Structure 1
């Protein structure tokens, strides 16, 4: 990649950012909205230059940025794609993002790539694989990465660990951080019939470096509940409630609004970010206060009512 003017990396604030998609880049460059940070998909910046890189260079001078990977396929039975890993390393060196994240999933095997983030069985064997892969990734980038939980639509009967136990063990053994997607927790709780709050309770607060919020689609007439992590609508009231519970358990964390399909006007994303900020602002506690805090002791903003 060609060199660009050096830009000092800005830390991600404990506020609510927005996932920036190409359709909104021109609006952001023109209007410079008061968004605390932006997150971009890493693979969209694997090109050597061009209009998107020019826009990104302009944005990162004024906004903190994080990079969110969707294609590395950390959990594949195949070795990590060396070309993909090299491209990511070059991107991180050039962009100097405040945060880098990937997914707890696989999406490619035997040279075939699937347009989804596919789940792993929660077994000791899969955990050992993920610990090794995350170690390889962190060594290649020379930095700690965040690993995100994904939505899933099947359950592996041979799993021996609960998903939250798997994530906690991965963070402990690999030294990675966690990107806790609250929407994905809720989606999986409905799809697989577990208590979403129990999941949150099992996540080590010290490992969490970022939270994600997004919308889902409810499928009807299938003989049982099914939620799809579609990222094409507003955050559901049930997810707002779980977000509030999450903040009460782990304390304030940088939070991102994701919207990837059927993109609305940018103002809609800003409104979602304001709703998240109304909740996040309640939990701007110092570490000692956060450790002693309990959800029942707090007066909650009724985000479900606000969201309508």
Structure 2
């Protein structure tokens, strides 16, 4: 891990040159490993160059940890090879499923939080961590409709998963805000229920209202700036748990590098303000 928690950016191919040249102190980058699990080529060459100067985080989307079957062993082998090569300071995955057998879905799908599913998820997380030889941070999902049959709240599920497996949590505050809006719950209650010690990274991203339902249904688009409401929840969270490595996520409508750096600097200012209060 970096010497102290700082803010980073998702690395985009159009920004490789600017990312490589950027002198900002503490800047780190995160990538989806599935885009780099290849034998060679320009992507790996650029990642190699950036990793020489900047810390790197791997944020997976393909392990399908909430599926009712074990993570794909070939995927784990390739992911481990990438991690061994680039030595990320963080590795993370989603609390969702996207694969069953040979069928792959282009989305991160929800599930019912039953006791049986908790056992399945814990087994899958443990298998993945054992195969990788690393601790994973597991990200809370965005939810769009209420499923029936839950035996526990999402914070309770995440807390127990972390306790059983020793994994950490990747807290996506935009996901919390979107889910709370869509399911008519309180984002602050959710955030206060999470174990601070388990949170190893924070994600900040943008959302948008659904074209048909408007503000009643928010979509986690990663295609807009971080909203003021999410910034407020972020500052509140840092006040409660202390500084954590924080990523600005942008995967659609990608702006200029300078615009992303401005959001990254805003997150860094929140982290620095908390440190100044403690030191003052």
Q: What is the CA–CA distance in structure 1 between the aligned matches of 2:196 and 2:87, rounded to whole Å? A: 25
- How far apart are 1:221 and its partner, in Å? 4.4
- Aligned counterpart, 1:195: 186
1:178 equivalent to 2:134? Answer: no
Q: What is the CA–CA distance in structure 2 between the aligned matches of 1:19 and 1:232, rounded to whole Å? A: 13
- How far apart are 1:11 and its partner, in Å? 3.0
- Aligned counterpart, 2:117: 126
- Aligned counterpart, 2:224: 233
Q: What is the CA–CA distance in structure 1 between the aligned matches of 2:111 and 2:23, rounded to whole Å? A: 39
- How far apart are 1:220 and its partner, in Å? 5.1
TM (norm. structure 1) is 0.86
**Where do residues 89-100 of structure 1 align in structure 2 (5 Å cutoff)?**
89-100=80-91
- How far apart are 1:120 and its partner, in Å? 2.0
Q: What is the CA–CA distance in structure 1 between the aligned matches of 2:127 and 2:252, rounded to whole Å? A: 32
- Aligned counterpart, 1:242: 233
- Contact preservation (8 Å) 1:177, 1:208: yes
Q: What is the CA–CA distance in structure 2 between the aligned matches of 1:95 and 1:219, rounded to whole Å? A: 38
Q: What is the CA–CA distance in structure 2 between the aligned matches of 1:250 and 1:148, rounded to whole Å? A: 17
1:53 equivalent to 2:44? Answer: yes
- Contact preservation (8 Å) 1:135, 1:174: yes
Q: What is the CA–CA distance in structure 1 between the aligned matches of 2:162 and 2:222, rounded to whole Å? A: 26
Of the candidates 190, 194, 204, which is equivalent to residue 195 of structure 2?
A: 204
Structure 1 outlier segments of 4+, above 4 Å: none
Structure 1: unaligned runs, 5 residues or longer: 1-9, 291-308
- Contact preservation (8 Å) 2:204, 2:226: yes
- Contact preservation (8 Å) 1:67, 1:99: yes
TM (norm. structure 2) is 0.94
- How far apart are 1:150 and its partner, in Å? 1.2
**Where do residues 6-17 of structure 1 align in structure 2 (5 Å cutoff)?**
11=2, 13-17=4-8
**Where do residues 24-39 of structure 1 align in structure 2 (5 Å cutoff)?**
24-29=15-20, 31-34=21-24, 36-39=27-30
Instruction: Please say which of residues 19-28 and 186-195 is displaced more in the overlay.
Output: 19-28
Q: What is the CA–CA distance in structure 2 between the aligned matches of 1:207 and 1:266, rounded to whole Å? A: 31
SS in 1 for 2:8: strand
Of the candidates 77, 99, 104, which is equivalent to residue 108 of structure 1?
A: 99
SS in 2 for 1:121: coil
1:270 equivalent to 2:255? Answer: no
